[in-house]
Amino acid sequence: MKLITRKYIVIIILIAGMLIPNQVFSITVKQEEELSREFMKYVLKHVELIEDPVIVNYVNNVGKRIISVIPPQPFTYHFYIIKDDVYNAFASPAGHIFINSGLFEAMDNEEELAGILGHEIAHVVCRHISQKIERSKKIGLATLAGIAAGIFLGTGGAAVGASAVTIGSMAAGQSIALAYSREDEMQADQLGLKHLTKAGYSGLGLLSVLKKIRSRQWFGSKQIPTYLTTHPATEDRIAYIGSWLENNTKSESRTSSKACYDFTIAHTRLVAMYGDERAALRKSQIHIDKHPENPMAHYGYALILAKIGNRKDAIAHLKTALEKKAFDPNILRDLGRIYFLDGRYPEALNSLKGAAGMVPDDPETFFFIGRTQIELGKLKEAISTFEKLIAKNPDYTPALYFLGNTYGKLGELEEAHYFLGIYYKNNQNYKNALFHLNRALKTIIDPGKRSKIEELLKEISEN
């Protein structure tokens, strides 16, 4: 889309937003939850999510810190990272918050991440999208969800396919009506800043990240951030936030050293493991040349080396990182993971168990412990590891596959079919899910598992 066309769309959106009074259009909480389910179907069909538990859990923890200071909500909030270089972040109805990996990669600290999340949370709290949706028999919630998804995903990057969502969906007029207005943005900033300061952030991060997003537009029309077209009035917002910060001298950050470390780990993994390989390798080489004593420089370099297949040097740099930051569970976990990928299973198990002893709730550590136990022929120990992992992290889908597979190797087919059925259902592979779940239902005796199977079969039939 040409730059001038984008500008006209933004102008039309702004004007339309001003003409729609608050509370004219509204839906119930139940309808908003239904809309959210449909919205998620569209989004998940067109984007690739980063499911790295270290990164996902970190972003969710920052989001939950902000959620903890707001009034009780009718929704459970969830936070996701979309693998896409385009600068974008958005919130769906009923509390699903998305941030693109490109925008996260551009951030320098937790304050900036919290600033964006706080703003998106405020959109949900204010129910800006639900207030704009007319209760109409002519337009169903599924269609409206598709239109909203098309707006927020934009027309570039991972959302190329999603742009078709709005086409033919009574798009033009209704799309404008669903977009954020200037007033929505200002209200979300005001409320977001209030929540951020209550949560112990300064608010400076929101200002600095908005300036980064704005600066991106000067790189050419193809790189205009989707965020700028879905979140209008950026200049006014920057001016307002700057003024607010000047008048709120008490807004000092209470971000701890642990929070800074957690951001560094999550950000380093994001850049090294999910960013552009050449760019990540170049940045890591520069970083390690400038800061050879920094363990995180060696950690990041090791991750990108492992990604491109140079596991020998990756292991060497992780050992160097451990020398500088002894007993760091993240470094130990990734050392164990790379040992595993290199087929050095006894060494992998030793490193992974060391990490698990320090962080007993880290799902990726236990996932690779289980996989290492399989390779060492310790199948019953692997089953115990995976079951404990799933009990604490029921949404950790990869573990379901290996648990089912391991049960199959031991000849316990009813359990194998049960866990493989859940795995395929979670991955929306309904054909295989039906096969395994129906097989499990014939033989499984456990009433809780039978009830779970029947629930899953019902959900599949509704899709």
* pLDDT value for 3: 39
User: Which segment, 16-20, 87-91, 171-175, 376-380, is predicted with the most confidence on average?
Assistant: 376-380
Q: Does a structural domain hold residue 258?
A: no
The predicted pLDDT at position 301 comes to: 97
Mean residue pLDDT of the chain comes to: 86
pLDDT tens, residue by residue, 103-119:
999 999 999 999 999 99
Predicted confidence at residue 395, as pLDDT, reads: 82
Domain presence at residue 89? yes
pLDDT in tens, 233-264: 889 999 999 999 988 866 566 767 787 999 99
List the single range of 134-143, 148-157, 189-198, 305-314 with lowest mean pLDDT: 134-143
- Examine the pLDDT at 30 and tell me if it is beyond 80: yes
Model pLDDT, residue 216: 79
Between 13 and 153, the more confident residue is 153
Residue 231 in tokens: 């979140």
HEC profile of 31-56 = HHHHHHHHHHHHHHHHCCECCCHHHH
Q: What is the mean pLDDT of residues 168-173?
A: 44
Q: Measured between alpha carbons, how far is 310 from 316 in angstroms, rounded to an integer? A: 10
pLDDT band at 163 (very low <50, low <70, confident <90, very high): very low
pLDDT at 39: 86
User: Confidence band (pLDDT; 50, 70, 90) for 169?
Assistant: very low
pTM for the model stands at 0.85
pLDDT of residue 11: 34
Residue 108 covered by a domain: yes
CA distance 194 to 189: 8
What pLDDT, on a 0 to 100 scale, did the predictor assign at position 15?
Answer: 34
Residue 177, pLDDT above cutoff 60: no
Question: How far is 342 from 147, CA to CA, in rounded Å?
Answer: 46
Q: Please state which of the ranges 56-70, 163-177, 345-359, 388-402 shows the lowest mean pLDDT.
A: 163-177
3-state class of 273 per DSSP?
helix
pLDDT confidence of residue 178? 61
> 365 lies in a domain?
no
Is the pLDDT at 167 greater than 80? The verdict is no
What confidence score (pLDDT) does residue 176 get?
45
Domain-embedded: residue 103: yes
Q: What is the tens place of the pLDDT at every residue in 314-358?
A: 999 999 999 999 999 999 999 999 999 999 999 999 999 999 999
What residues make up the domain containing 16?
3-246
Number of domains in the chain: 1
> What's the confidence (pLDDT) of residue 219?
54
Q: Is residue 342 part of a domain?
A: no
The string of DSSP codes covering 87-108 is: --EEEETTTEEEEEHHHHHT--
C-alpha 41: how far from its chain's center? Answer: 15
Residue 338 covered by a domain: no
CA geometry: angle 401, 406, 409, nearest 5 deg: 130
Sort 251 into a burial class: Cβ within 10 Å, 0-12 / 13-18 / 19+: middle
Q: Is residue 454 part of a domain?
A: no
- C-alpha dihedral sign at 255, 257, 262, 267: positive
